[in-house]
Amino acid sequence: MASTEKLTGLKKAAILLIILGERLATKLLEELSDEEIFRVTRCMAEIDHIPEETKLRILEDFELAAESQAGIVVKGQEFAKKLIAGSSGDKDRESALMKQFVSGTEARPLETIAKMHPSMVAGLLEREHPQTLALVLSTQATEHAGAIIAKLPEEKRSDVVYRIATLDAVSPAVIDRIEEALSKEIGIVVGGEEQKEIGGLNKVVEILDNMTDNLDTEILENLEEVDPEMVESIRKMMFTFEDLCALDGRSIQMILREVNNDSLTMALKTASDEIKEKIFANMSSRAADMIRDDLDAMGPVRLSEVEAMQQTIVKIAMKLEEEGKLVLGRGSGGDEFV
């Protein structure tokens, strides 16, 4: 720890709050603005030990008396989180502060890009190789990455999304090389010691779910020509059979008009009671009773067959959405017998 002469006022305040302990520090935080709380708690998270000399000097500087100790060993990040949790009776405010704090203390590669407007990032990176673009965008927040992809040339979007989906762990050396190459135009200084889990299907699903102007459909259609199995997996994750529960009665009825009773019975084999009742409530009593009887009489079937039929119905729902007839809410084997 540096001498107190070299410490900033913010650092001194963070040290003082730790010395005072949670109860007193919490009282002091009640008097600060959200911005001040964010800055001081982020600073506290970087502290893991306070030398005795520094502690005494800080106390003298603020004209406080304290008992001499052989230094204070603290878990700065945990301490800061506890302070935030007790700083206000407003749960929404506490949640917002905690989210801001965690976001601010996590080591996020390419942090400067995270603060840039999507159009600027797209303009800066559009001439880069799609693999480089995928690596960069995989380090960004979902909404930001989606907004950047939307600003890329149309012919690059699907390729970049495909590469994000196939990314896995990336060594910090790779990230460092990308940062070094970009640092000539923007200042980026962030490092890491362990391999970073970036990309993958989950990242792609999150990005596509946040896209507007039907770009997700356009990208998936282009990707289907390259890797139909991947697109199938992405679609399964973006909207599932169980997500039909969120639809209104009119939308359910529209889907059911496209499905025969045998197919529907197979799809309902593993369905929850909630989705069954939702579907039964939107068909005639006679048809619902027939399907219930068929389900009771149905023997073991392969899970893969049931899932395939559920996916067929999901595709019907997606097709109707593409045609503008309904709006879907987005949600998430081997051959078992069920």
Specify the pLDDT at position 50.
83
Q: Yes or no: say if 141 and 111 are a contact pair by the CB < 8 Å rule.
A: no
Specify the pLDDT at position 164.
87
Classify each residue of 66-92 as buried b or exposed e, where b means 16 or more C-beta atoms within 10 Å of its C-beta. eeeeeebebebbebbbebbebbbeeee
Q: List pLDDT tens digits, range 78-122.
A: 666 666 666 556 666 666 666 655 555 443 446 667 777 888 788
Question: 12 or 89, which is more confident?
Answer: 12
Q: Which of the given ranges, 13-22, 27-36, 262-271, 307-316, has the highest pLDDT on average?
A: 262-271
Q: 252 pLDDT exceeds 80?
A: yes
Q: What is the pTM of this model?
A: 0.38
Q: Which residue has the tokens 């009640």?
A: 30
The 10 Å Cβ neighbour count of residue 97 is: 22
For 197, phi then psi, to 5°, come to -80, 110
Tokens of 220: 């998936």
Q: What domains can be seen in the chain, in order of their start residue?
A: 4-105 (no CATH), 111-222 (1.10.220.30), 239-322 (1.10.220.30)
Q: Yes or no: say if 26 and 86 are a contact pair by the CB < 8 Å rule.
A: yes
Q: 64 pLDDT exceeds 90?
A: no
